[in-house]
Amino acid sequence: MATTDYSSEIANLRQTYKAILDVSDLDNLRDEVAELTEQASSPTFWDDPDSAQKTSAKLSHKQGTLEKLEKFGERIDDAELLVEMSQDEGDADSLDEADRDIKKLRDQLAELEISTLLNHEYDERSAVVTVRSGAGGDDATDWAQMLTRMYVRWAENRGYNVQELDTSYAEGAGIKSATIQINAPYAYGTLSVEAGTHRLVRISPFDNQGRRQTSFAAVEVVPLIESTDHVDIDENDLRIDVYRSSGPGGQSVNTTDSAVRITHVPTGVVVSMQNEKSQIQNREAAMRVLQSRLLDLKRKEEAAQKKELAGDIKASWGDQMRSYVTHPYQMVKDLRTGYEVNNPSAVFDGDLDGLIEAGIRWRKEQEMAEEADA
């Protein structure tokens, strides 16, 4: 039976930790924590509860990251000392404890490594996620609802707050589309790699002959707009429609025309909102999402223009990005990274971390390759 080479394990941990420190600006992180702490100690801090909650969440996240970065070296030293003492004394139980500590450190370093890759302009933001069904009847609309539930479960498993902003129910099963807001630091940076087309292959529960069906759904992820952002929207460019909110099966859930649909005519971007109680609240929520989408559209147009100027135009990495198969075999495979999971049920229940982390690493590799070619 092969024995663990603990010297190599410890050396690898130190190498990974050093690489993370090399790309982490600890001084800047300390300054950010100090600034946010000062804001949180202001007597008027809670006068604006929404802003205070966002600042508190951001402070908690950055404090946690800073503490991990500052303490990790000591934790690696402690694990190495425990290994040496256990081996010297022939203490198998202590050596098992050290082995568990090393595995835990390895997993936590992997998480820290991912967080250092989330350094784009809007990565710190909360995320607005929209899922739309593709062609395929009940199978497609059911698939869109499964995907929406998957992201809700992922967020809930991490203790994140989730708001349902809008749901358009299909006449049969499932939904035509749904928009949810996930409120957590770096939710956008983390989930942005989920944007694209998701394909499901399964035995259709809606086919009385039990045939296999392929369904598609599109996922859009945009950063939540903040008061400091500036997106010019001419009121003359907006078409605003109001209608009656509805629930599953087209049944009315209220008796007033409180739902709002806003169309930004120049871009064709459409935002619907019906989950608030009043038309005013739905309009305000719809405008926030519209600004988020226009901000994201502007960012993508600028990125595409840069690629065009560089003479290197590539298809969007988000298209046809993942395949979920439950028949004739069980597998979820990311078509960009090659990362595979042989338990689709766990993925549908929100176990997405491995797929997301592989996507973030893949995106960084693509960016580095593009920079090298420029």
One domain for residues 20 and 113: yes
**What pLDDT is stored for residue 275 in this prediction?**
80
Has residue 61 been placed in a domain?
yes
| Residue 116, SS3 per DSSP | helix
Which of 313, 312, 366 has the alpha carbon at shortest distance from 336?
366
One domain for residues 209 and 321: yes
Has residue 240 been placed in a domain?
yes
Please report, in tens digits, the pLDDT of each residue of the chain (374 residues total). 347 888 899 999 999 898 888 878 888 889 999 999 999 999 999 988 878 888 888 888 888 888 888 899 999 999 999 999 999 988 889 899 989 999 999 988 888 888 888 888 889 889 999 999 987 789 999 999 999 999 999 999 999 999 998 899 998 899 999 999 999 989 999 999 999 999 999 999 998 888 999 999 999 998 887 766 667 788 889 999 888 776 655 444 455 678 899 999 999 999 998 887 788 888 888 888 888 888 888 877 766 664 554 333 232 334 578 999 999 999 999 999 999 999 999 999 999 999 999 999 999 888 888 777 76
CA distance 137 to 250: 16
Has residue 89 been placed in a domain?
yes
Q: Which of 70, 90, 117 lies at the terminal end of a domain, its last residue? A: 117
One domain for residues 203 and 331: yes
User: By residue range, what is the domain housing residue 259?
Assistant: 235-306
CA distance 113 to 92: 31
**What pLDDT is stored for residue 317 in this prediction?**
34
One domain for residues 264 and 369: no
CA distance 359 to 87: 39
Q: Is residue 361 within 8 Å of residue 114, measured between CB atoms?
A: yes
- C-alpha atoms less than 13 angstroms from C-alpha of 181 in its C-beta half-sphere: 18
Q: Which of 58, 91, 117 lies at the terminal end of a domain, its last residue? A: 117
Largest distance between two CA atoms of the chain: 79
We report the CATH number of the domain holding residue 74 as 1.20.58.410
One domain for residues 215 and 362: yes
Q: Is residue 307 within 8 Å of residue 314, measured between CB atoms?
A: yes
Has residue 354 been placed in a domain?
yes
We report the CATH number of the domain holding residue 319 as 3.30.70.1660
**Both structure tokens of 157:** 């498993």
Has residue 122 been placed in a domain?
no
One domain for residues 109 and 211: no
Has residue 246 been placed in a domain?
yes
CA distance 197 to 104: 34
One domain for residues 324 and 177: yes
Indicate the number of domains in the chain. 3
Q: Is residue 359 within 8 Å of residue 332, measured between CB atoms?
A: no
One domain for residues 94 and 71: yes
Residue with token string 């871009």? 267
Has residue 333 been placed in a domain?
yes
Residue with token string 């835990």? 104
Which residues have C-beta within 8 Å of that of residue 343, sequence separation ≥ 6? 330, 332, 351
What predicted TM-score, i.e. pTM, was given to this entire model? 0.74
We report the CATH number of the domain holding residue 252 as 3.30.160.20
**Both structure tokens of 208:** 């009385």
**What pLDDT is stored for residue 335 in this prediction?**
94
- The full DSSP string for 23-68 is H--HHHHHHHHHHHHHHHTSTTGGGSHHHHHHHHHHHHHHHHHHHH
One domain for residues 82 and 10: yes
One domain for residues 180 and 322: yes
Q: Is residue 224 within 8 Å of residue 181, measured between CB atoms?
A: yes
CA distance 303 to 298: 9
One domain for residues 27 and 94: yes
Q: Is residue 128 within 8 Å of residue 289, measured between CB atoms?
A: yes
Which of 130, 153, 13 has the alpha carbon at shortest distance from 80?
13
CA distance 245 to 218: 23
Q: Which of 94, 117, 140 lies at the terminal end of a domain, its last residue? A: 117
**What pLDDT is stored for residue 316 in this prediction?**
34
Q: Are strands 322-325 and 196-203 parallel, antiparallel or unpaired?
A: parallel
Has residue 1 been placed in a domain?
no
**Both structure tokens of 186:** 């770096």
**What pLDDT is stored for residue 309 in this prediction?**
40
One domain for residues 210 and 338: yes
Phi, then psi, of 138 in degrees rounded to 5: -60, -35
Residue with token string 């305000």? 284
